[in-house]
């Protein structure tokens, strides 16, 4: 059976524009919070039955056109050998950050089957639970985004440590990026082998970089990932998505990533983005997540604006321009999805 | 006497590329911290002798090619009638934020001579202290950036309140933007009359907006400001600068702001920016402020990279791509300025 999400990824005609939301298995859902109240965040990532339960919630509750594995981009660097903590009311923390060439050498490239078996088990269980209703998206963080957490020791406002490493110790930086890239390729291919029908690479902090630094020292690693991903499994084509947030100023270059789909954040008009990419890739996005805090009639109007900005051509996956925020009323998320159903009918 | 900073603003040939730094009168300087230890931040803004002292510090200490008035973009909204607080270790706060049409109606458009005389007095004193050594830049926040603080009540991660106002109550939003715009025009023209030889409009949060919202509902106000600014005083041409941070994805539109100079943040390559703007405006920027935390030899190399990215043509003012951060060693700021002197010689 052809799924409209996968059809859109490959720029094939669809009956209506498919829609899912980044962080759709998240805190804005009371059903998610009920599970979260019983488990730590890392437990939820590491217990396949829990990850499965929350991954499936938005499929049943909201009727989105794709499921995305419940996990975290920092599961992979933890498996590379550095301790990861999530403290309540803090972001993620790596108490012993990666700062030196010796720190980088100590990192190992995980074997996903051995080191993160719970992720692959979750994918198999989710597929059992989905029973073919919608495709399942796997994911990983992009090398710079993951490395920035590893080097800064957590979230950062100015990325001072990783930028200093990139400028003052380019060999160490490149060695780290290479290791994270190797790990990411094995990780995503294992997710595909376990049953993911699409994979998304999240480059949340790409936009923190100077253009030259991104293009010369970060983007080649991204390209290597897409060149190395499994593109077919059992005769089924695997869709690949690259989401570089804040990269609108060099979007014409991002087209060369090698992904089937580019995620677009809410700051770059989709029509503008299409002018840049032409027929080369599909586009995913890009309603401003803050819109979901406005009244439903505003949400409906803005959904229409996003659909109109892309136009009628194939190759649009409707999504937010970044993750849904915890304060969004579920009824507002539903209003968005219903509006995509109503205004996104094609053919 | 022709100043190289003003010459560069008007894309005239210079002996060497002029250089100054956003937040150059700031916490990275021990001389600034010594003054700050004796006064609150708002006192420093409101006592002309103190504002003068810290404005002049980087001229004497670093040898930059322009002075910029020590003040804060929130001095103007405070003068519009809402209480402003700076709590230690917090950002700025407006305890009674502007949320409704009635709140907007209560705001008044200040008469700078009556309502912020200390700013104009500081400009006169700074000019006395400068004795023509370098030009003085006045400034204000751009309407969206200022309004976002007024509506959110302080700094914001997601701009939810002002975005909801812009989407759900566009008339209220436009009325607020119009009032801030009117206030800004009077404020900047008063600064010019008092002696500022250039003015910069800081649009720090422009990049938080969807492209259409920026272009349709924010940018016309910016254009109105530049159309209304005094461009000549006593036969001397006044330079105007617009710095929209995070606006690289629609930079081709920003050219139409009406400013002589566009500030460029560190994420958009200057050569790329020049390709977009052609000969229409000068460019100011754009070394990544995080570079100043790296060793001096790295700083020198990156200064050269920025100079090379612009090329030899007239119309480049060297600056950071955003404000200098408090942790930068002054010796590193000096290394940057000396490198601009060394590599930026022209003609």
The arrangement of strands across the sheet holding A136-141 comes to A67-68, A136-141, A198-203, A239-244, A261-263, A282-287, A316-320
In three-state secondary structure terms, B65 is: coil
Mutation for testing the A interface, residue in B162, B267, B310 having most A CBs under 10 Å? B267
Average pLDDT over residues A123-135: 98
With 80 as the cut, is the pLDDT of residue B347 above it?
Answer: no
Average pLDDT over residues B43-64: 97
Mutation for testing the B interface, residue in A155, A208, A249, A264 having most B CBs under 10 Å? A249
What's the pLDDT score for residue A261?
A: 98
CA distance B223 to B242: 10
What region, left, alpha or beta, does residue A308 occupy, with left being phi > 0 and alpha being psi -120 to 50 degrees? alpha
**B27 catalytically annotated:** yes
- Note whether A333 and A299 are within 8 A (CB): no
What's the pLDDT score for residue B301?
A: 98
Average pLDDT over residues B135-161: 96
Q: Which of A192, A57, A41, A62 is nearest to A129 (CA)?
A: A57
Summarised one tens digit per residue, pLDDT across range A286-299 is 999 999 999 999 99
Q: Tell me the CB-side half-sphere exposure of residue B270, using CA atoms within 13 A.
A: 31
Summarised one tens digit per residue, pLDDT across range A111-128 is 999 999 999 999 999 999
With 90 as the cut, is the pLDDT of residue A91 above it?
Answer: no
The chain B residues in contact with chain A (CB within 8 A) are 158-160, 163-164, 167-168, 207-212, 246, 248-251, 266-269, 272, 288-291, 293-295, 298, 302, 305, 309, 321, 325, 327
Of B163, B168, B269, the CB nearest to A211: B269
With 70 as the cut, is the pLDDT of residue B1 above it?
Answer: no
In chain A, the percentage of residues whose pLDDT exceeds 70 is 100
Q: Which of A161, A246, A253 is nearest to A207 (CA)?
A: A246
**DSSP state letter for A250:** G
What's the pLDDT score for residue B87?
A: 85
* Distance of residue B346 Cα from the nearest chain A Cα, in angstroms: 24
**A72 catalytically annotated:** yes
With 80 as the cut, is the pLDDT of residue B89 above it?
Answer: no
| Candidates B28, B32, B149, B214; catalytic one | B149
The chain A residues in contact with chain B (CB within 8 A) are 158-160, 163-164, 167-168, 207-212, 246, 248-251, 266-269, 272, 288-291, 293-295, 298, 302, 305, 309, 321, 325, 327
Based on its alpha-carbon atoms, the radius of gyration of chain A, rounded to whole angstroms, reads 19
Summarised one tens digit per residue, pLDDT across range A157-208 is 899 999 999 999 999 999 999 999 999 999 999 999 999 999 999 999 999 9
What is the ipTM metric for this complex? 0.95
Residues of A in contact with B302 (CB under 8 A): 167
- Note whether B334 and B13 are within 8 A (CB): no
Summarised one tens digit per residue, pLDDT across range A7-28 is 999 999 999 999 999 999 999 9
Structure-block tokens of residue A109: 């490239």
What's the pLDDT score for residue B164?
A: 97
What's the pLDDT score for residue A87?
A: 85
Contact criterion met (CB < 8 Å) for A160 and B209? no
What's the pLDDT score for residue B148?
A: 98
**DSSP state letter for B167:** H
With 60 as the cut, is the pLDDT of residue A1 above it?
Answer: no
pLDDT band at B90 (very low <50, low <70, confident <90, very high): confident
B40, with CB counted inside 10 A (0-12, 13-18, 19+), is exposed
Residues of A in contact with B305 (CB under 8 A): 212
In chain B, the percentage of residues whose pLDDT exceeds 90 is 97
With 80 as the cut, is the pLDDT of residue A322 above it?
Answer: yes
Summarised one tens digit per residue, pLDDT across range B278-287 is 999 999 999 9
**A36 catalytically annotated:** yes
CA distance A76 to A142: 11
| Candidates B27, B233, B237, B346; catalytic one | B27
CB atoms within 10 A of CB A108: 12
């Amino acid at each position: 059976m052809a799924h409209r999400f996968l059809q859109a990824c490959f720029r094939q005609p669809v009956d209506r524009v498919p829609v899912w939301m980044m962080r759709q298995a998240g805190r804005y859902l009371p059903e998610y919070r009920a599970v979260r109240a019983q488990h730590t965040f890392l437990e939820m990532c590491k217990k396949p039955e829990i990850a499965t339960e929350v991954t499936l919630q938005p499929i049943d509750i909201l009727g989105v056109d794709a499921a995305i594995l419940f996990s975290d981009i920092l599961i992979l660097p933890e498996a590379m050998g550095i301790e990861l903590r999530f403290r309540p009311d803090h972001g993620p923390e790596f108490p012993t950050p990666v700062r030196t060439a010796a720190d980088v050498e100590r990192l190992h490239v995980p074997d996903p089957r051995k080191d993160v078996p719970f992720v692959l088990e979750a994918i198999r269980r989710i597929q059992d639970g989905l029973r073919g209703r919608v495709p399942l998206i796997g994911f990983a963080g992009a090398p710079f985004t993951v490395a920035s957490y590893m080097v800064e020791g957590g979230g950062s406002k100015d990325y001072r440590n990783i930028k200093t490493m990139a400028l003052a110790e380019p060999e160490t930086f490149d060695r780290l990026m290479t290791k994270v890239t190797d790990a990411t390729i094995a990780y995503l291919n294992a997710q595909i082998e376990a049953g993911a029908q699409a994979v998304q690479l999240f480059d949340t902090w790409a936009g923190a970089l100077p253009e030259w630094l991104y293009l010369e020292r970060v983007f080649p690693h991204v390209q290597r990932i897409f060149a190395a991903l499994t593109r077919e499994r059992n005769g089924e084509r695997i869709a690949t998505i690259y989401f570089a947030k804040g990269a609108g100023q060099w979007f014409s270059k991002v087209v060369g990533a090698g992904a089937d789909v580019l995620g677009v954040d809410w700051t770059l008009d989709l029509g503008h983005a299409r002018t840049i990419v032409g027929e080369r890739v599909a586009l995913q996005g890009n309603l401003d997540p803050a819109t979901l805090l406005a009244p439903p009639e505003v949400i409906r109007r803005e959904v229409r604006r996003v659909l109109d900005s892309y136009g009628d051509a194939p190759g649009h996956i409707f999504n937010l321009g970044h993750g849904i925020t915890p304060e969004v009323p579920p009824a507002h998320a539903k209003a968005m999805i219903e509006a995509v159903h109503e205004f996104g009918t094609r053919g």
